[in-house]
């Protein structure tokens, strides 16, 4: 009787232990993800995901229309030169292989900003929806990195000088609002680089150059 009670106690403890171990492991697994975010951060994340998903749905609609046009040409036995040209122009403009025009903002930077801060500014412009960015004469590509010391900033082999200009095409109100909001990048840089001055100007029409880089991979091959 006594032995039976002991076995029962042991079984209960083992069961509780098992449950707790599983709960702990699951908590740790989930702890690397969304469980670490506060409600405010989760709200920001949900907002970001919603915006991105809307953009993706719009892209699907555009791509479906493009596919339908191509399928119709194919059914008629036509060559698709016009479609190819339109698609090529779109991809080249987006990539930075061709010059583009449009409304946006110009940021004039004087007084010296370190390379990391200029990269922060470019990152913020991308986040705010900039469709094309240039720093002075250089169209910004993923591999265009601002480097060098404070008094000798470089992008590739191009020296930036003081002052220099960052131009971005996109919604002027959104870009200006995002840069100049309280706690935004301009306010942050005013605190971390007090000697620098950033003047943000909405512009109706900007013209950004094409990149001079050859962006087609040499070492990487297309995945089939």
Partner 1 sequence: MTIQPASAPRSRLRRIPSWQITLGLALLVLGFVVVAQLQSDGPRALYASDERGPLVETAIGLQTQQDALKAQILALRTQISDLETKGQGSVAAATDLGQRLQDARLAAGLIGLQGPGIVLQLRDSEQTVLPGDNPNEYLVTASDVRTVVEQLWLAGAEGVAVNGERITTGTAILDIGGTVLVNSAYLAPPYQISAIGPPDLLDRLSASIGFRTFVQNRAQAFGIHIDVAEPSEVSLPAYAGTITLRYAQPDPSAGAGGPAPAGSTPP
Distance of CA 167 to the CA centre of its chain: 17
**Rounded Cα distance, 189 and 88, in Å:** 38
Nearest to partner 1 of 167, 176 (CB atom): 167
Minimum distance of partner 1 from residue 127's CB (angstroms): 4
For 52, the token pair is 């991105």
Q: Which one among 103, 180, 188, 197 touches partner 1, defined by CB under 8 A?
A: 103
Q: Which one among 140, 186, 189, 198 touches partner 1, defined by CB under 8 A?
A: 140
Q: Which one among 111, 127, 162, 202 touches partner 1, defined by CB under 8 A?
A: 127
Judged by CB under 8 A, the number of residues near partner 1 is: 117
Nearest to partner 1 of 110, 127 (CB atom): 127
| Site residues (CB under 8 A) for partner 1, limited to 12-31 | 13-14, 16-17, 20-21, 23-24, 27-28, 31
Stretch that binds partner 1, among 1-9, 182-190, 192-200 (CB under 8 A): 1-9
| Site residues (CB under 8 A) for partner 1, limited to 45-84 | 45-46, 48-53, 55-60, 62-64, 66-67, 70-71, 73-74, 78-81, 83-84
Rg (CA), the chain: 27
Residue labelled with tokens 């950004």: 208
Counting every residue written for the chain, the total comes to 224
Q: Which one among 4, 44, 185, 191 touches partner 1, defined by CB under 8 A?
A: 44
Q: Does 178 bind partner 1 (CB under 8 A)?
A: no
| Residue 147 burial (C-beta neighbours within 10 Å; 0-12, 13-18, 19+) | middle
**Rounded Cα distance, 151 and 165, in Å:** 15
Q: Does 162 bind partner 1 (CB under 8 A)?
A: no
For 172, the token pair is 């002027």
CB count within 10 Å of CB 45 equals: 12
Q: Which one among 109, 134, 193, 196 touches partner 1, defined by CB under 8 A?
A: 134
Q: Does 109 bind partner 1 (CB under 8 A)?
A: no
Residue labelled with tokens 């470019």: 122
Q: Does 117 bind partner 1 (CB under 8 A)?
A: no
CB count within 10 Å of CB 156 equals: 14
Nearest to partner 1 of 87, 111 (CB atom): 87
Q: Which one among 109, 113, 130, 179 touches partner 1, defined by CB under 8 A?
A: 130
Q: For the stretch 114-131, what's the b/e string if a residue is b when 16 or more beta carbons lie within 10 angstroms of its beta carbon?
A: bbebbebbbebbeebebb
């Amino acid at each position: 009787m006594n032995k039976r009670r002991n076995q029962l106690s042991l079984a209960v403890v083992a069961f509780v232990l098992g449950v707790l171990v599983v709960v702990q492991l699951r908590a740790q697994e989930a702890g690397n993800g969304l469980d670490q975010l506060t409600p405010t951060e989760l709200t920001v994340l949900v907002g970001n995901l919603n915006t991105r998903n809307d953009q993706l749905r719009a892209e699907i609609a555009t791509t479906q229309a493009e596919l339908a046009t191509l399928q119709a040409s194919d059914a008629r036995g036509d060559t698709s030169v016009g479609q190819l040209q339109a698609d090529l122009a779109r991809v080249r403009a987006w990539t930075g292989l061709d010059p583009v025009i449009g409304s946006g903002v110009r940021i004039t930077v004087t007084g010296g900003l370190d390379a990391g801060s200029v990269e922060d500014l470019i990152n913020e412009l991308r986040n705010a929806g900039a469709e094309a960015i240039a720093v002075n004469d250089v169209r910004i590509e993923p591999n265009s990195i601002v480097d060098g010391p404070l008094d000798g900033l470089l992008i590739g082999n191009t020296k930036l000088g003081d002052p220099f200009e960052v131009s971005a095409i996109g919604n002027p109100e959104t870009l200006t609002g995002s840069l100049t909001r309280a706690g935004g990048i301009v306010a942050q840089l005013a605190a971390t680089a007090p000697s620098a001055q950033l003047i943000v100007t909405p512009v109706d029409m900007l013209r950004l150059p094409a990149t001079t880089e050859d962006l087609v991979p040499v070492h990487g091959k297309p995945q089939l």
